[in-house]
Amino acid sequence: MVATVSEVLTVGLFPGAFSAKLTRLHGPNRLGAVHAAKQLSAHPISQARDWIEDAQSIAVLTGAGISAESGIPTFRGPGGLWNNRRPEDLATPQAFARDPKLVWEWYVWRRERVAAARPNPGHQALAKLEARGVQCTLITQNVDGLHRAAGSRNLLELHGNLWRERCVVCGREVENHDSAARPLPPRCSCGGMLRPGVVWFGEALPAAAIELAVQAAQHCDVFLVCGTSVVVYPAAALPQRAIAAGARVIEVNLEETPFSQFAHVSLRGKCGELLPQIIRVPPCPEPLI
């Protein structure tokens, strides 16, 4: 039985139906082969590499795992705690309204930690994939700016950017990488307070970015899932939409995730080690077949 596209697109709204819907996807895909997720004709790394090389359009979703390889602690991990306060208690509009100086002190601390990080081979491999000229849309849930630092330009930052600031009065946005001390909270030229240009708990993701991400997922030949557990919506719906539209989905993650069983290829390991292999970034070791 073949699931219709409209049937599978409802998965993002009803996550409980995820397994039941995706296990019924056995239709032809855009690369011309019949869906056979667990019956690969080659070594998984070689298979992933072939799909990427044959693809005309690629979409990529990255999460905290790829940034962790650059030394940035995950948002909710042990390194995310600051002055015995949870990020969930600071990254909200209510917290900023209550004590903007305290919230900004936390973001200054986060910026200091991120400033010392550098893009790793995983970031660099994705930037080189885009530089080849293939249609490549990079969708990230990270706010650290490492993808842009690596050279990626066709980039959708779903959760904003740690280095961006937005005025709460006039809406003007600026980027500020200056770590020099300044009065907190900082002020816009109009006199209004500046807030970090990130998406806080309780806020909607930017509609334009989500729309472009959905379009990329629905029109790509290959969808890469890198360093994310794919459990937080709406981003978690993107690889589901890609599968529904006939794309091959490749997962790269340190650990198995709830989505792993649905990926056409699921690779275990670091993004910085595996992405250069499947994207063919020289020099990279040949897979052991």
Which one of the listed residues 35, 43, 147, 159 is annotated catalytic? 159
Are the C-beta atoms of 138 and 155 separated by less than 8 Å?
Answer: yes
DSSP calls for 167-192: ETTT--EEE----S---SS-B-TTSP
Q: Is 177 a catalytic residue?
A: no
In order of 33, 41, 43, 105, 232, the CA distances from 46 in angstroms are 16, 10, 5, 47, 30
* 3-class secondary structure, 146: helix
Which of 219, 235, 194 lies closest to 30, judged by CA?
219
Are the C-beta atoms of 221 and 249 separated by less than 8 Å?
Answer: no
Are the C-beta atoms of 271 and 124 separated by less than 8 Å?
Answer: no
**How many residues are there in the chain?**
289
Distance CA 134, CA 145 (A): 22
Name the amino acid, one letter, at 195. R
Q: Which residues are the active-site residues?
A: 159
